Amino acid sequence: ELAEIGLVGLGTMGAALALNIAEKGHRIAVWNRTGTVTDAFVAEAGELAARVVPTHSLQALVDAIAPPRAIILMVPAGDAVDQQIAALRPLLGKDDLIIDAGNANFHDTERRSAEAEVQGVSFIGMGVSGGEEGARHGPSIMGGGPRAAWDRVAPILTSIAARHGEVPCATWMGPGGAGHFVKTVHNGIEYADMQMITEVYGLMRDGLGMAAPAIADVFDGWNAGALRSYLVEISGAVARAVDPETGAAMLDVILDAAGQKGTGRWTAIEAQHLAAPVPVIEAAVMARNVSSRLAERQAGQAAFGAGPQPVSLTVEDLEGALMAGKILCYAQGFTMLDAASKTFGWGVPLPECAKVWRAGCIIRSDMLDHMAQALTEDPGRNLILAPTFAALLKQHHGALRKVVAAAALNGHGLPALSAGLAWFDLMRTARGTANMIQGQRDFFGAHGFDRLDGKPVHHGPWGGHA
């Protein structure tokens, strides 16, 4: 019996995805570069092994799948994907489909889509979120590529995806690199959410002198309220854990230098290309970069003094600040998606992005459900102006202000929360200050400016300087 679908790459994510597919009743052929990995995978698949077809060459993999074939690649992003496509392509026919399920840079996906078109193979770039657990039991899936190709595999993908109520979190976002772009923005927001949680954690630890278990209680409490989300939930669990080696709080044993594989950075880079302001995400990437410069930070503390000081803030202040910061960050993220969608002509449905992130992925939260509603009402409106979120911001921006101010006065760096607040204040100032920039530009470069009164005078009286 031929398999419905194939999968290349039985690493952590690929193996979990393959088991998920088999569990949902689909026969799947698998291949891994190292054959012993394939054998071990099947040996450990238990009763699901009945629906797994192990293969030991790419030709055998292709032969094991019913045409028109669909093959998922779950190999490390970058060159490995191109090599795998090059090896598969000669074995595939024109109705066959390759699905790259890794964390590809969307520029690569756009190129691979164009190449696939020339070579007569269909190509889908698909963002998959939720880590190993998500891949195994229900990830959030953001697809991009030819609509017809997506529709062909959609029944399998929706069957393995996470569900929000009855709605599967597997959605076609547009042609070419649209799916991987949406995943990239997801990761940028993931970085920002994590950083803002980290900033309030720092205030609790260094500003309020709270120990890890007490901090865990706070996160658990927030997770029972409006901030309910996967990342707040796991932050509570991380804060509560104890190091088996020393018996100390696990958090107090972990080195304060954050790793990153680059997707958050891509979001910041693309936002700059698009001139789309995402300062909270940019700040989060910056903070990871600073965190890894340990020796410089130590020298900094030696040179400038004692580091963060106690603050007089309440846990409620911190909760309000996190609420406000989160709304500001997501408003920026959705605006960036909108800008990209228009620039690349993708037609990404913003409400569908919010919906696909409601379950399965790392940034899943209750708030995303309200965002989906607000974006459905009016996809073109900045989220901060949607009545639900405008009301929440009115309620909580005072707390954000208080927290950022107290942090600044007492030496706590809050890059993401402060960046959110600064953006918010710019966004609610009708008469801004860029008139000065325009004056300066005209003074030194005769760049000209528009006038408030609409009169056709386009240069200032700068004499010989203009």
Active site residues: 183, 190
Q: Which one, of 201, 455, 452, lies nearest residue 308 by Cα?
A: 201
Give me the residue label for tokens 């000669």. 90
Closer of 138 and 207 to ligand 6PG (Cβ): 138
Q: Which residues bind ligand 6PG (CB under 6 A)?
A: 103, 129-131, 187, 190, 259-261, 263-264, 361-362
Could you give the CA distance from residue 284 to residue 319 in angstroms, rounded to a whole number? 19
CA 361 to chain centre: 9
Cis before residue 168, ω within 30 degrees of 0? no
Was 447 annotated as part of a binding site?
yes
Based on CB atoms, which residue is closest to ligand 6PG, 54 or 134?
134
Nearer to ligand 6PG, 135 or 210 (CB): 135
Query: CB of 194: closest distance to ligand 6PG in angstroms?
Result: 8
C-alpha pair distances (Å), 317 with each of 321, 399, 446: 6, 5, 48
DSSP 229: B
Is 186 marked as binding a ligand?
Answer: yes
Tokens linked to 311? 């603050």
Residue that has been written with the tokens 């594989």 in this structure: 261
Classify residue 337 by burial, with Cβ atoms within 10 Å: 0-12, 13-18, 19+.
buried
CB of 130: closest distance to ligand 6PG in angstroms?
Answer: 5
433 marked as binding residue: no
Query: Three-state secondary structure along 190-219?
Result: HHHHHHHHHHHHHHHHHHCCCCHHHHHHHH
Identity of the residue, 131 or 308, whose beta carbon is nearer to ligand 6PG in the bound complex: 131
Choice between 125 and 264, CB closer to ligand 6PG: 264
Question: Which single residue brings its beta carbon nearest to ligand 6PG?
Answer: 129
What type of residue is 124?
I
* Antiparallel, parallel or unpaired: β 70-73 and 97-100: parallel
- In the complex, the smallest distance separating the C-beta of residue 106 from ligand 6PG, rounded to whole angstroms, is 14
The nearest distance, CB 169 to ligand 6PG, in angstroms, is: 12
Q: Least distance (Å) from ligand 6PG to the CB of residue 263?
A: 5
Task: Detail the residues annotated as belonging to a binding site for substrate.
Answer: 103, 129-131, 186-187, 191, 261, 288, 441, 447
Residue ranges of the binding site: 9-14, 32-34, 75-77, 103, 129-131, 186-187, 191, 261, 288, 441, 447
Binding residues for NADP(+): 9-14, 32-34, 75-77, 103
